[in-house]
């Protein structure tokens, strides 16, 4: 069987003007991951990333550790199918309908770094409305559209893969959530309950034979746990 390793990007710059940049913690997480992969003796036949900078930086930082350990690595390929959904667009489109129920929401979302728990609660409410499909907005990618985007990326991976290939995919939490939904059939709402638990630079593994895909492991972050440094275990 072949293996696809889904790797969530390192910690991004939550609360900053540009979220799509790895924080110093995110860079360290990616380096630790790469060293761990080298210690495991993993060799990849193909490495793929979404287009986002935080995804590609995670890939290059991790793969550099493999290369430093003498492990041959293929050139990083980019496929936009593994991009994250546009969370800012979801918030902008669906927030107006939520404000009558949550009058403080705009203030919380504008000051997310200072209101992390309340931000998460409000964001989860907005995501719930988005995945329901009952509040689709013109110009906003729907949940179903996002799922089809991710499905296309997975189909392309499988079509080009050898029977025993090992493939690394550097991506994001929402993309992994969509794949969980596609592969296991878990309802979107339950998939997002898992989403909130996905650790930065965690590994989830899919096994495939032809077009048949199954989930082998989810959200492994032992490479961070072994360091006994709680500050390296982050979720955003």
The predicted pLDDT at position 16 comes to 58
- The pLDDT mean for the chain works out to 94
CA 151 vs. chain centroid, Å, equals 15
Q: Across residues 60-66, what is the average pLDDT?
A: 97
Predicted confidence at residue 85, as pLDDT, reads 96
pLDDT at 208 over 60: yes
pLDDT of 109: 83
List pLDDT tens digits, range 152-167: 999 999 999 999 999 9
**Would you tell me how many other CB atoms lie within 10 Å of the CB of residue 214?**
12
Only one residue has tokens 């991790």, namely: 62
Q: Which domains does the chain have, with CATH numbers?
A: 2-84+144-232 (3.40.50.1240), 87-132 (no CATH)
Q: Are 166 and 45 in contact (CB under 8 A)?
A: yes
d(CA 48, CA 6): 10
Residue 35, token pair as written in the block: 């060293």
Residue 213 in this model has a pLDDT that exceeds 80: yes
Nearest to 225 by CA among 83, 3, 32, 16: 32
So what's the pLDDT on residue 231? 94
What pLDDT sits at residue 17?
Answer: 60
Q: What percent of the chain has a predicted confidence (pLDDT) above 90?
A: 86
Could you report the per-residue pLDDT of 82-124, keeping only the tens digit for each? 999 999 999 999 999 999 999 898 888 888 778 888 988 999 9
The answer to whether residue 230 scores a pLDDT higher than 60 is yes
Q: Give the pLDDT confidence of 45-61 residue by residue, as tens digits.
A: 999 999 999 999 999 99
Q: What pLDDT is stored for residue 26 in this prediction?
A: 96
What does the pLDDT look like over 125-184, one tens digit per residue? 999 999 998 888 899 999 999 999 999 999 999 999 999 999 999 999 999 999 999 999
Write the pLDDT tens digit of every residue in 5-53: 999 999 997 655 667 889 999 999 999 999 999 999 999 999 999 999 9
pLDDT average, residue stretch 199-208: 98
CA pair distance 134, 179, nearest whole angstrom: 22
């Amino acid at each position: 069987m072949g293996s696809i390793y889904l790797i969530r990007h390192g910690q991004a710059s939550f609360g900053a003007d540009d979220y799509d940049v790895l924080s110093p913690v995110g860079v360290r997480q990616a380096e630790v991951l790469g060293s761990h992969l080298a210690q495991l003796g993993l060799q990849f036949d193909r490495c793929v990333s979404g287009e986002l900078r935080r995804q590609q930086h995670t890939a290059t930082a991790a793969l550099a550790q493999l290369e430093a350990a003498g492990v041959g690595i293929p050139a990083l390929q980019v496929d936009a199918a593994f991009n994250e959904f546009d969370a800012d667009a979801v918030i902008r489109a669906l927030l107006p309908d939520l404000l009558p129920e949550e009058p403080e929401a705009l203030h919380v979302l504008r000051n997310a770094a200072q209101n992390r728990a309340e931000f998460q609660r409000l964001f989860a409410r907005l995501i719930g409305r988005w995945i329901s499909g009952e509040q689709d907005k013109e110009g906003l990618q729907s949940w179903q559209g996002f799922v089809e985007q991710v499905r296309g990326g997975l189909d392309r991976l499988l079509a080009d893969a050898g029977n025993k290939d090992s493939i690394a995919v550097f991506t994001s939490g929402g993309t992994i959530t969509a794949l969980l939904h596609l592969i296991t059939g878990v309802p979107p709402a339950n998939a997002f309950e898992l989403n909130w638990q996905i650790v930065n630079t965690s590994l989830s593994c899919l096994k495939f034979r032809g077009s048949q895909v199954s989930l082998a492991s989810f959200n492994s972050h032992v490479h961070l746990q072994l360091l006994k440094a709680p500050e390296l275990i982050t979720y955003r």
